Amino acid sequence: MAFEYPLARPQAEAPRLPLLVQLHDWVVTVDHKRLGIMYVCTGLLFFAVAGLEASIMRWQLAFPNHNVVAPEVFNRLFTMHGTTMVFLVGMPLILGLANYLIPLMIGARDLAFPRLNAFGFWLSLFGGVLLYFSYLGGEGLSGAGTAPDVGWFAYAPLTERAFSRGHSTDYWILSLLVSGIGSVATSINIVTTVFCMRCKGMTLARMPLFVWMLLVVAGMILFAMPPLTAAQLMLLLDRYLGARFFDTQAGGSAVLWQHFFWIFGHPEVYILMLPGFAAVSEIIPVFSRKPMFGYAAMVGATLAIAFISMGVWAHHMFTVGMSAMANAFFTASTMLIAVPTGIKIFNWLATMYGGKIRFATPMLFCIGFLFQFLCAGLTGIMLAASPFDWQLSDSYFVVAHFHYVLIGGLLFTIFAAIHYWFPKATGKMLSETLGRWHFWLLVIGFNLTFGPQHIAGILGMPRRIYTYAPGRGWELWNLLSSVGVAFQALAVLFFVWNVIRALRQGPPAGDDPWDAWTLEWTTTSPPPEYNFETLPEVQSRRPLWDLKHPHDPDWHHE
């Protein structure tokens, strides 16, 4: 035997600490695993809140001339829904997975800067709390509104003092500023960890693809977050010091805000999607019993996506009236990004091809992701063509497109990741039966909700309207869409039930329930606070395979 991973086992069952002490331990912790779990819980909590907001909107739109909420309440709902889902659901979930898994996967005991990590988490959490505090504290002027109602991309000059009285927009700015600083802090931490903390033998070319992709994501956050922060600082200067950045009366430009926002906004889409790709790249090989097909191509495609995604932002702005040259450039660059994304899809399919596929819940979610994300990609290419976009921009077709990306794509991969790594984090197995209910209800509910929205969009239904008159042919599609929400809500309830049940009486998971190959499965479940008693040493991309198959280790072939 070349080497062994000594397992650190807890000596004896520690006595149960009083609740207050336990709570205190969670608040003051700098352990990457606890912070990772808190990130994921924060994300799921805000997911429930934003999902509820979406449900109210769908109930309002289920029938023509429906009167569930007032128009101004509806404006707040879609603003809060979008802002929450992107900044307080997507970001915490991906940063939480990165936090929990990266040190374990590269054989380190923690992130490079553990206290900075805690700082980043608490900033993100309180940024989110600040956003929702606006419902209570936003009433700066009586009748001027509470929560932000300017849409998640907050176009100027609607956000200027003259048009947005009171403090609702300030809450939008400040909460995202705060949580943005948290994300940047954590990204600095991730990049530094990957470059400086890898265990012996873990060269860059042997890192799990998950770590590679999260490294790229962290790098993207470093460059994509500041444009938003800068634009928000400018808006704050406008609102509080009377600066003129976006004041069209003084020669300022409203289009400049759009450029700055989308220079952040489009890379952000890939910042959210790449961690999904990362989880899929770990799960599909394990459940197909084959090593990942085209490792180098995957890394290359990830870097290509990161690079190209910085140059596609203005495809969100085709209807604003740019030059023909700009339209052509951004159409071409947007179509170009489909190439590396296509490479990835083919690599996942090639990994599954000829494998001994196990259809466990994590794998089901990955397969669902492949189909739905492909649909999202195809409508994305349609919208990339600027003439087509002129017709359908700001319609429900766009809404359907990006929900196929973020739910059919991202959310499915997040659920895959949670089902896959839950046994590691808690030591308990989730139920396969409940997992299947969760999966199938979500597939049905999701496609029922967002499939018909493509058609409503083609029939001319604009996004962000709070109601519509009968007789435009939109009724059926909206009703189907709203019915789908019930299935999705039910699916989420199955998930909650599954988690609670597993935590209380789930069967013990063991160290390596999926017969997987990366380093995190060499630790106990849950791993001890210090992760590894002695730091591991690796010889190939699948260290655990080498350990299990000493007669035929991977480094014979790599």
Partner 1 sequence: MINATAHTYHAEPTEEALPSRGRVGMVCLIATEAALFSIFVVAYLFYIGKSLIGPYPAQVLEVPMLPTICLLASSATIMLAERALRQGYGVLFKGWWFLTMLLGVAFLYATAVEWYRLIFTHHLTISTNLFGTTFYSLVGFHAMHVTVGLMLLTLVLILSLCGYVTQAQSERVAALSLYWHFVDVVWIVVFLVVYVIGR
Chain contacts with partner 1 (rule: CB under 8 A): 2, 112-113, 184, 187-189, 191-192, 195-198, 200-201, 203, 222-227, 229-231, 233-234, 237, 241-245, 250-253, 256, 260, 263, 537-539, 555-556
CA 409 to chain centre: 9
Q: Least separation, in Å, of the C-beta of 158 and partner 1? A: 19
Q: Least separation, in Å, of the C-beta of 125 and partner 1? A: 21
Q: Which residue has the tokens 């991977």?
A: 554
Q: 264 or 466, CB closer to partner 1? A: 264
Residue 356: CB partners within 8 Å, gap ≥ 6? Answer: 288, 289
CB 484 within 8 A of CB 57: no
Phi (first) and psi of residue 339, to 5 degrees: -65, -55
The tokens describing 265, both together, are 């906004």
Q: 506 or 543, CB closer to partner 1? A: 543
Q: 203 or 323, CB closer to partner 1? A: 203
Distance CA 443, CA 446 (A): 5
CB 83 within 8 A of CB 149: no
Q: Is 240 helix (H, G, I), strand (E, B) or coil?
A: helix
Terminus-to-terminus CA distance in the chain, angstroms? 19
CB 510 within 8 A of CB 525: yes
Q: 129 or 222, CB closer to partner 1? A: 222
Q: Least separation, in Å, of the C-beta of 271 and partner 1? A: 13
Q: Least separation, in Å, of the C-beta of 126 and partner 1? A: 21
The tokens describing 222, both together, are 């470093």
Q: 229 or 391, CB closer to partner 1? A: 229
Q: 227 or 445, CB closer to partner 1? A: 227
**How many CA atoms within 13 Å lie on the side-chain side of 332?**
6
CB 285 within 8 A of CB 366: no
CB 53 within 8 A of CB 485: no
Number of H helices, E strands in the chain: 18, 0
Residue 315: CB partners within 8 Å, gap ≥ 6? Answer: 266, 330, 331, 333, 334, 383, 384, 386, 389
The tokens describing 23, both together, are 């709570």
Q: Least separation, in Å, of the C-beta of 143 and partner 1? A: 27
Q: 224 or 509, CB closer to partner 1? A: 224
Q: 242 or 473, CB closer to partner 1? A: 242
Q: Least separation, in Å, of the C-beta of 363 and partner 1? A: 32
Q: Least separation, in Å, of the C-beta of 244 and partner 1? A: 5
Q: Least separation, in Å, of the C-beta of 135 and partner 1? A: 30
